[in-house]
Amino acid sequence: MAYNPRTELATHTVTNQPPPLEDVNLYATDRALQDAVRRAGGGSHGARLDAFGRRCGEARTQTWSRQANENPPRLRPFDRFGQRIDEAEFHPAYHELMALGLDGGVSAAAWTAPEAGHVLHAGLMFLMNQADAGVTCPMSMTYACVPTLRAAPELAAEWEPRVTAARYDERSIPAAGKHGVTLGMAMTEKQGGSDVRANTTRAEAADGAVRLVGHKWFCSAPMSDAFLTLAYGDNGLTCYFVPRWLPDGERNTIQVMRLKDKLGDRSNASSEIEYHHAWAWQVGEAGRGVRTIIAMVQHTRLDCLLGSAAGMRQALAQALWHTGHRTAFQRRLRDQPAMQAVLADLVLDSEAATALAFRVAASFDRAAEDPQQAAYMRLATAVGKYWVCKRQPGFVYEALECLGGAGYVEEGPMPRLFRQSPLNAIWEGSGNVIALDVLRACAREPESLEAVRAELAAPAGRNPHYDAHLRSLERWLTEERPHEGTARALTESLGLGLQAAALAAGAPEFVFDGFCAARLDPETRAFAYGAGRAPVDIRALIERAYPAA
């Protein structure tokens, strides 16, 4: 039973405070998300996403997120007898969130749904990120590991059923005895970061097995049941599978040196580890480790794109809710022109981020049968990951400001959303890494560039600002010859074009036209949210995005 707090205090009466945005169905109240799911071919999953959206928006789920972030994991390297265990210890709220996501199918749905599996995964991931973004890290890697595991068929036969079991099992025991497992990734090292060819971890043959010796500067989710990692063997950099427990039930010699003290993502554990002759299996061809693990990276990049779009949506929902209930100068904030300009501008970016994320997710479903979709997926994933993730921090800051001082205090969700906002632009390749990847794909994979060009050509003729942007982009690609110094600018231009194209495919006309006017017309666009002069349908945009029950 809920009890109302006291508002009649000794010195004043508490008034003009918005009710908390809780017990709200995050799917049913997000028309942009519903439209994007349907356009991507996931209409049959509406009931499942509706039920999951209700759970993600419950007050108790918000409480779990707050508790898990206020009580981050702790490293327990030894047990009380001085024996090495290398365990991460979590608050109970973390386990509730993990069970919500994994039992709900966030990691498994892409591989088990009869149709549109990646779109279903995208919807579940989008909603789970709004419940708590930190716990989606191990969920994402568990989802993304499947294509790389399949490079070792015997390994996949044993581990893929565990990965796709859609069950959370928090016990630290050998995988054979668990209801479901999670997988992590350990690629980068201190001296190289994204330059994994600078790695020094080596693989040595011993006793008929492979043993790894070295360190990893970032090992995400060290409580995972196994890790995909890179090490140098006799034939070059190779991908390996490293379980936490050996087949005989002994702990593998993976030593957790410390947990990272991070800006955000605090409910999840990230760590530095060392391999002390750790037992491993080779995955894929020797010397082709980057090629083998890049399939996993491609899928986690999709989740970066989804995570940023989801973080933007949740920040927008909080801003809309607050301004819809708060008054200042005798008027609701949401009814004041200056605030309306900011909110409508935020809506355009949120709509565009959601539309592009689900268009990319649809290409993952269609890639196996359609080479053009596979080519689109290759380039559009990188472009979307770069551009949407870059937009998130500034977006969340502006939404936070809509709440005024209330947005800056830790009791509310905005500081957590803000601290989380830079992560996806760094994870799985920071801005320059992704922009250079886009440049390489444009130069060396003509089929990918042509697939994106075909996507961009589809809405031609519907909006003059879009057409002008398309002509400018074509001149750039054909005459100006993009290079490393302009890689970011090229990626940004492609990102804006692909967002507009995704909106053109099914968003309301006032959303598509508003985005083109506000983002593609150099005469009216602005650097700050709410400062543009584009003629957009402000009231329609705000009404469409408002998180009303």
Give 437-466 as a DSSP string: HHHHHHHH-HHHHHHHHHHHHTTTTS-HHH
* Predicted confidence (pLDDT) per residue in 448-464, tens digit: 999 999 999 999 999 99
pLDDT for the residue numbered 2? 58
The tokens for 112 are 């088990």
Q: Which residues pair with 332 in a beta bridge?
A: 327
For 477, the 3-state DSSP assignment is helix
Q: Which residues pair with 236 in a beta bridge?
A: 233
pLDDT exceeds cutoff 90 at 317: yes
Q: How many CA atoms lie within 13 A of 165 on its CB side?
A: 18
Sign of CA dihedral 501, 452, 391, 146: positive
Distances (CA, A) of 19 to 23, 322, 325, 337: 11, 8, 8, 23
Q: How far apart are CA 269 and CA 247, in angstroms?
A: 25
The tokens for 107 are 């990691």
The tokens for 114 are 């009869």
pLDDT exceeds cutoff 90 at 548: no
pLDDT exceeds cutoff 80 at 208: no
The tokens for 501 are 């194209």
Q: How far apart are CA 165 and CA 498, in angstroms?
A: 35
pLDDT exceeds cutoff 70 at 1: no
Work out the angle at residue 155's Cα, subtended by the Cα atoms of residues 281 and 107, and round it to the nearest 5 degrees: 110
pLDDT exceeds cutoff 90 at 325: yes
> What one-letter code names the amino acid at 195?
D
What secondary structure letter does DSSP report for 406?
G
Distances (CA, A) of 41 to 5, 32, 117, 359: 45, 15, 10, 10
Q: What are the residues whose beta carbons fall under 8 Å from the beta carbon of 129, sequence distance 6 or more?
A: 136, 306, 307, 310, 311, 314
* Predicted confidence (pLDDT) per residue in 341-398, tens digit: 999 999 999 999 999 999 999 999 999 999 999 999 999 999 999 999 999 999 999 9
**Residue 91: CB atoms within 10 Å:** 18
> Taking residues 13-34, what's their average pLDDT?
96
Sign of CA dihedral 154, 157, 158, 164: positive
Q: How many CA atoms lie within 13 A of 195 on its CB side?
A: 5
For 428, the 3-state DSSP assignment is coil
Nearest to 105 by CA among 139, 130, 133: 139
pLDDT for the residue numbered 3? 65
The tokens for 461 are 């003729």
* Predicted confidence (pLDDT) per residue in 159-181, tens digit: 999 999 999 999 999 999 999 99
pLDDT for the residue numbered 479? 86
> Taking residues 84-94, what's their average pLDDT?
97
The tokens for 340 are 């309306």
**Residue 288: CB atoms within 10 Å:** 16
pLDDT for the residue numbered 549? 58
Q: What are the residues whose beta carbons fall under 8 Å from the beta carbon of 173, sequence distance 6 or more?
A: 245
Phi, psi dihedrals of residue 520, rounded to the nearest 5°: -110, -10
Where on the phi/psi map is residue 249: left (φ > 0), alpha (ψ -120 to 50), or beta? left
The tokens for 522 are 């150099």
Transcribe 340-373 into DSSP letters: HHHHHHHHHHHHHHHHHHHHHHHHHHHTTT-HHH
More confident residue, 2 or 239: 239
Average pLDDT score, the chain:
96
For 203, the 3-state DSSP assignment is strand
For 403, the 3-state DSSP assignment is coil
Nearest to 518 by CA among 460, 451, 465: 465
Percent above pLDDT 70 for the chain: 99
> Taking residues 200-227, what's their average pLDDT?
92
pTM: 0.97
pLDDT for the residue numbered 531? 96
> Taking residues 421-435, what's their average pLDDT?
95
Helix (H) or strand (E) run with residue 418 in it: helix 414-420
pLDDT for the residue numbered 193? 86
